[in-house]
C-alpha cells in the first residue's frame, strides 16, 4: 500500500506545482488588450473591373498574454477583402483578418467595408504640348512634334468620361538649341484640373517631344506645288490633289525669300495610272534657303475615269392623263444635257431616255409643269431646257362629225 500512497502524493505534488506556476505566470504575465490599425489588401479582382472607392484601413482589438501582445505589430496580421464576387456598383464585403500569432481577436471595425466597382475601359486622346517660359534673347521656338502623338488612357469608365486632355509641359527658359526630351504625360479634366489618380494608367506614360529652337532669322510661309510627269491612262484624269502640309516655312535672307513664292516637289510620275496614288516626296529646296521642318510632304492624287458631256433632243411624253381629256403641250420637245463616262454615253441613244410631264389628278385648265427625265443610273442629267412647259387640258367634245376631231384627242 505504501507504494500506492507515494504515487498519490507525487501526483498531488505535480498538480500543485502546475497550479503554482500558472498563478505565478498570471501574476507576472497578465492578459492584456491592444488595438492595431491595419491596411486593407483587396484581392482577386477581375482585370475587367476596377475599384473606384474603398476603405483603406481597419482596426482590430486583440487580447493575450502581455509578453506576447506587447510585441505584436501590424506585420503580425493581414486584413484582406475578397473581390472575386464583386459586381459593378456598390458592394458591402466582409473583412478577413489573418491571425499569424494565434492571439484572440475580440473586435474588428468595421467588419464590412463599402467598395465601389466600375468597368475598366480605354480612351485614346491626342497629346498636347504646353510651352512654358521664354527662350533666350534672340531665339524663337516653333511648333513641337510629339511621338507618339496619341496615348491610351485606361481606367474606370466613370473617370474616363471626365478626362479631357493629355498634355506634356516643356520648359523653354533660356533655351538656345533644339529641345529633344522624354516627358511624362499628364491627364487633365474638362476644367483643366490635373488628374493624378492611381486609378488610371497612361500608355505610354512618357512621350518624345522635339521643339525646334532657332536663332531669329527672316522666314516666309509658301505653298507647296506638286510637280508631275506623264499622264494618266487614256480615259482617266486627275480629279483631285491633296497635299499635306499645304504650306511650309522657309528661312533665309530677305533677298532670297523675296524671290521664292512656292516650294516645288520632286517630280511624281503619273504615267499610265488608272487608280489613285499616295506618295511621300522630297521638296526641291532652292539654294540659299532652308526648311524649318522636314523636307518631305505627302501628296495624294485621285484618279477617276474621264467623263464627257452630250446633248440630245427628246419628245415630251404626257403621263397619267385621263381618257376624258384632250391634252396639248408647248413646246413638244426638250433638250437635255447629260454627263457620263465616254464609253457608256457612246452606246446610249434617245431610246434610253424619256422626257415627260405628269398630269395626274389635274382638272381642265392651263398649267406650267416641270419636265422630268428618265435616264440610266450611270448617267447624270446636268440640264433640261425648258425646265417647265405649258400644258393645256380640255374636256373632250363628244362628236362624231369628223374623224379628224377624234385624231386630235390624246
Residue 6, in any domain of the structure: no
Quick check: 42 pLDDT over 60?
A: yes
Label residues 209-218 b or e (16+ Cβ within 10 Å = b): bebebbeeee
Q: Does 24 score more than 50 pLDDT?
A: no
- 326 and 281, same structural domain? no
**Using an 8 Å Cβ cutoff, are 118 and 86 in contact?**
no
Determine the pLDDT at residue 341.
Answer: 81
Q: Does 7 map to a domain?
A: no
Q: Is 320 left (phi over 0), alpha (psi -120 to 50) or beta?
A: left
pLDDT digits (tens, 9 = 90+) for 401-410: 443 344 334 4
Residue 406, pLDDT score = 41
**Which residues constitute the domain of residue 321?**
307-407
Mean pLDDT of 298-303: 94
The better pLDDT of the pair 262, 305 is held by 262
Statement to judge: residues 123 and 211 lie in one domain: yes
Distances (CA, A) of 266 to 18, 90, 220, 227: 104, 64, 20, 6
Give 114's strand partners: 92
CATH of the domain at 388: 2.170.120.30
Closest CA to 308 of 216, 377, 387, 380: 380
Residue 47 has pLDDT above 90, yes or no: no
pLDDT reported for residue 400 = 45
DSSP single-letter state for residue 283: B
Q: Are residues 100 and 82 in the same domain?
A: yes
208 plus 283 within the same structural domain: no
The answer on 204 and 191 residing in a single domain is yes
Residues 293, 244: Cα–Cα separation, whole Å = 13
- List the single range of 44-58, 181-195, 342-356, 393-407 with lowest mean pLDDT: 393-407
With bands split at pLDDT 50, 70 and 90, how would you rate the model's confidence at 307? Answer: confident
Q: What is the DSSP letter of 404?
A: H
**Is residue 19, in this structure, part of any structural domain at all?**
no
pLDDT at 65 over 90: no
- 3-state helix, strand, coil split of the chain in percent (to 5) is 15, 55, 35
Distance of alpha carbon 372 from alpha carbon 356, whole angstroms: 5
DSSP state of 102: -
Distance CA 171, CA 179 (A): 9
- The answer to the question of residue 283 being in a domain is yes
CATH number assigned to the domain comprising residue 136: 2.170.120.40
| H-only helix segments in 168-289 | 254-258
Would residue 142 count as lying in a domain? yes
Domain count along the chain = 4
Q: What is the pLDDT of residue 69?
A: 82
* Residue at a domain's end among 305, 337, 368: 305
Task: Give a yes or no: residue 253 inside a domain.
Answer: yes
Say how far apart CA 153 and CA 163 lie, in whole Å. Answer: 9
- pLDDT tens for 112-148 read 999 999 999 999 999 999 999 999 988 889 899 999 9
Rounded to whole angstroms, how far apart are CA atoms 279 and 266? 11
Domain end marker among 277, 305, 333: 305
| 156-168 pLDDT per residue, tens | 998 898 898 999 9
Residue 15 falls inside a structural domain: no
Give me the DSSP letters along 243-276: EESSEEEEEE-HHHHHT-S-EEBPPEE-TT--S-
Q: What is the pLDDT of residue 190?
A: 84
Closest alpha carbon to 45 in 78, 88, 77, 79: 88
Cα 72 from chain centre: 54
For 11, 70, 71, 73, 101, the CA distances from 32, given in Å and listed in that order, are 32, 8, 12, 15, 15
Same domain, 257 and 333: no
Instruction: Write out pLDDT tens, residues 231-241.
Output: 998 878 888 99
Q: Are residues 402 and 376 in the same domain?
A: yes
User: CA–CA separation, 270 vs 277, rounded Å?
Assistant: 9
**Does residue 295 form part of some domain?**
yes
User: Would strands 219-225 and 263-264 be described as parallel, antiparallel, or unpaired?
Assistant: parallel
CA angle 163-126-122, nearest 5°? 50
Same-domain status, 208 and 233 = no
Q: What is residue 2's predicted lDDT score, i.e. its pLDDT?
A: 54
State whether 43 and 105 are in the same domain: yes
- What is the rounded distance in angstroms from the CA atom of residue 19 to the CA atom of residue 113? 45
- Per-residue pLDDT at 23: 44
Residue 17 has pLDDT above 80, yes or no: no
Specify whether 297 is located in the same domain as 315.
no
For residue 6, name the pLDDT band (cuts at 50, 70, 90). Answer: low
Choosing from 62, 79, 110, the residue where a domain stops is: 110
Question: Which stretch of 130-134, 147-151, 286-290 has the lowest confidence by average pLDDT?
Answer: 286-290
pLDDT band at 398 (very low <50, low <70, confident <90, very high): low
d(CA 334, CA 350): 12
Residue scoring higher pLDDT (225 or 65): 225
Amino acid at each position: 500500500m505504501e507504494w500506492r500512497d507515494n504515487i498519490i502524493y507525487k501526483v498531488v505534488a505535480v498538480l500543485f506545482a502546475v497550479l503554482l506556476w500558472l498563478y505565478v505566470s498570471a501574476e507576472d504575465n497578465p492578459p492584456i488588450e491592444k488595438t492595431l490599425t491595419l491596411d486593407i489588401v483587396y484581392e482577386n479582382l477581375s482585370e475587367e473591373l476596377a475599384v473606384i472607392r474603398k476603405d483603406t484601413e481597419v482596426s482590430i482589438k486583440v487580447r493575450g498574454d502581455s509578453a506576447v501582445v506587447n510585441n505584436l505589430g501590424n506585420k503580425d496580421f493581414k486584413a484582406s477583402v475578397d473581390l472575386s464576387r464583386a459586381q459593378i456598383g456598390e458592394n458591402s464585403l466582409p473583412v478577413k483578418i489573418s491571425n499569424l500569432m494565434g492571439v484572440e481577436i475580440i473586435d474588428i471595425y468595421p467588419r464590412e467595408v463599402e467598395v465601389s466597382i466600375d468597368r475598366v475601359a480605354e480612351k485614346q486622346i491626342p497629346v498636347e504640348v504646353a510651352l512654358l517660359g521664354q527662350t533666350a534673347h534672340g531665339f524663337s521656338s516653333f511648333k513641337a512634334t510629339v511621338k507618339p502623338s496619341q496615348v491610351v488612357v485606361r481606367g474606370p469608365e466613370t473617370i474616363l468620361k471626365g478626362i479631357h486632355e493629355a498634355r506634356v509641359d516643356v520648359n523653354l527658359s533660356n533655351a538656345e538649341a533644339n529641345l529633344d526630351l522624354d516627358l511624362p504625360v499628364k491627364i487633365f479634366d474638362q476644367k483643366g484640373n490635373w488628374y493624378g489618380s492611381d486609378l488610371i494608367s497612361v500608355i505610354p506614360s512618357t512621350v518624345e517631344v522635339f521643339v525646334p529652337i532657332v536663332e531669329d532669322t527672316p522666314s516666309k510661309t509658301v505653298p507647296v506645288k506638286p510637280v508631275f510627269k506623264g499622264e494618266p491612262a487614256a480615259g482617266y484624269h486627275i480629279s483631285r490633289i491633296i497635299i499635306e502640309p499645304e504650306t511650309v516655312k522657309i528661312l533665309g535672307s530677305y533677298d532670297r525669300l523675296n524671290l521664292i513664292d512656292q516650294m516645288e516637289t520632286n517630280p511624281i510620275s503619273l504615267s499610265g495610272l488608272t487608280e489613285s496614288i499616295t506618295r511621300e516626296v522630297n521638296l526641291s529646296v532652292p539654294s540659299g534657303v532652308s526648311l524649318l521642318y522636314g523636307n518631305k510632304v505627302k501628296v495624294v492624287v485621285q484618279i477617276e475615269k474621264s467623263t464627257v458631256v452630250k446633248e440630245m433632243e427628246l419628245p415630251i411624253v404626257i403621263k397619267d392623263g385621263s381618257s376624258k381629256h384632250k391634252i396639248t403641250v408647248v413646246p413638244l420637245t426638250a433638250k437635255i444635257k447629260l454627263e457620263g463616262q465616254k464609253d457608256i454615253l457612246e452606246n446610249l441613244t434617245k431610246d434610253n431616255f424619256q422626257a415627260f410631264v405628269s398630269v395626274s389628278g389635274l382638272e381642265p385648265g392651263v398649267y406650267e409643269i416641270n419636265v422630268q427625265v428618265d435616264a440610266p443610273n450611270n448617267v447624270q442629267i446636268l440640264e433640261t431646257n425648258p425646265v417647265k412647259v405649258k400644258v393645256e387640258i380640255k374636256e373632250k367634245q363628244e362628236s362624231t362629225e369628223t374623224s379628224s376631231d377624234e385624231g386630235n384627242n390624246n
